[in-house]
Amino acid sequence: MKGEMKSLAAFVFILACVDAYIVNPGPKYPATKGYVWPAPQYQNFNESYYSVNVQKFAFKTSENCNILYNAQRRYLEFIQAHIPTLGKIKVGKENNYLGELTQVSITLSEICDDNAYPNLDMDESYVLSVAEDGANISAPTIWGALRGMETFSQLLYSAEDGISTRINITSIVDSPRFPHRGILVDTSRHFIPLEQLKQIIDAMAFNKLNVFHWHIVDDQSFPFVSTTFPELSAQGAYHPQLYVYSPDDVAVIIEYSKQRGIRVIPEFDTPGHTRSWGISHPELLTPCDSVQKNSYGPMDPTKNLTYTFVEDLFTEVRKVFRDQFIHLGGDEVDFDCWENDTNITAFMTEKNITSYANLEGYYIQNILDTVDNLNFSSIVWEEVFSNGVNLPNETIVHVWKDWDGNSWVETMYQVTKKGKTGLLSACWYLDHLATGGDWKTFYECEPTEFGGNSEQTKLILGGEACMWSELVNQYNIVQRIFPRASAVAEKLWSAKVENANEDFVSRRLEEHVCRMNKRGIPAQPPNAAGFCL
């Protein structure tokens, strides 16, 4: 019997090995044609189609708005440059051929204001119709129109003849599931030039992501050029001219994002992650010779000048950045230096502060009051909530931990139980790599599955994929982000789907990656062997 079992095991092993080496020619996941990413909330289409002469095609609107005009120009370039027209367009003879489509009309319910900026409450909904009487995109706001134009551009596909471009009869009613759909980009560990930041922002628009979370400074460097404290970047950046963001650079990124319906939220993380601040202003930090000679720890929360300095810097930041929100950080504060500082110990005794977590809370409370006086709303990392800081109602808690005994599920449950709004990043860390198409792991994460009731799930504003830059720079950051962040984009935009067809999602993502590649985004292959036309 044992011999028979051994023989059976050997046979199964051989079959498994043979199966592993059986490879059929062609791509593992053949790309779809004309499928939208992220999937619309509602879509109905049929086999009837138009041919599209991309050289004659135009967007038509009566709106006098630079944001819309610039978007029309961009999308015409995408359509004309990246949809193949290799020869004379063939006129279809099938019964489902409707003729040539030469334009799509765009209508807005509200006046397009070129002075407006995208915000948390913006309406991104739109209705798109490609019917027998023509094509139309209608939206309440310019932000919805931008999303509708992106969808329209994705509906176009190259026919089997390799020559003609087609679009099927389609009806779409669409809006985002969550209002906050972001990517965090760390520009401190490695400096990321404007060219790559623009590529990331372009790709965000192609994926209907709408928040560029700019983690602009950290321990390692301070590339933000402050006009109030120019010495911060002059001494704290990797290089005072080559690796900094001037006021003009920051303005360029804010405007570039605005044109694509994307918010820019800056993060100035304190009281930890501030070592680069201390090169020019060591008086702000806690001396830490007891841990390591000539070293410094977090900001010193006992000094009035600490709060005055931060207030002056944030006053400038409020004038520079146009979004209502600022990310205040508050994560990973190392208490060792505070514990060994006699001045801090005396201060805690005087103020009846009984723990270093409460001391951090004291600091954060002061900073929250400061930004509130500056008409800033705040986002904080989850430690601030977990340490018991009395957060204003409008403060958003950013949940990021899911290891070392910390579960994002439990944290999000507690955040929403307290009536606070939350953002999720814990399962969407782009610097955590796995072999193969690891976007599938990101796709499996569902931000509402934390055991909360319906009222709690309403408090989830969305989430962000985080690209920390210890191991990326301008040469690999974009392809590390995409298409992995595309999985997050669909989870945050599209309707919740139980038991999604993984094969079909993979095929749709193959098409979307090729689409991004054709638009100049060096997104990496998502799945396995394949090709782009």
Q: Where on the phi/psi map is residue 162: left (φ > 0), alpha (ψ -120 to 50), or beta? A: left
In what helix (H) or strand (E) does residue 170 lie, and over which residues does it extend? Answer: strand 165-174
Helix, strand or coil, per DSSP, at residue 42: strand
Whether 332 is catalytic is yes
Instruction: Say if residues 85 and 165 touch (Cβ distance below 8 Å).
Output: yes
Q: What is the pLDDT of residues 75-113, one digit of tens each?
A: 999 998 755 544 444 555 567 899 999 999 999 999 999
User: Which residue blocks in 395-476 are alpha helix, DSSP H?
Assistant: 408-417, 439-444, 454-457
Identify the residue with better confidence: 437 or 468.
468
- Beta-carbon contacts of 251 under 8 Å, excluding residues fewer than 6 positions away, are 320
Give the pLDDT of residue 456.
Answer: 98
- Is pLDDT above 80 for 8? no
Angle at 423 between CA 141 and CA 199, to 5 degrees: 60
Is beta strand 285-287 parallel, antiparallel or unpaired with respect to 263-267? Answer: unpaired
- pTM exceeds 0.85, yes or no: yes
CA distance 189 to 216: 10
**Residue of 47, 255, 332, 446 marked active site:** 332
Around Cβ 523, how many Cβ atoms within 10 Å?
26
User: Which residue blocks in 189-262 are alpha helix, DSSP H?
Assistant: 194-206, 231-236, 247-258
CA distance 135 to 142: 18
Q: What is the pLDDT of residues 41-80, one digit of tens each?
A: 999 999 999 999 888 899 999 989 999 999 999 999 999 8
Length of the chain as a residue count: 533
Q: Which two tokens stand for residue 202?
A: 């372009």
- Beta-carbon contacts of 503 under 8 Å, excluding residues fewer than 6 positions away, are 29
- Beta-carbon contacts of 269 under 8 Å, excluding residues fewer than 6 positions away, are 215, 217, 218, 327, 328, 329, 330, 331
CA distance 170 to 128: 8
In what helix (H) or strand (E) does residue 517 lie, and over which residues does it extend? Answer: helix 502-518
In whole numbers, what is the pLDDT of the chain averaged over residues? 92
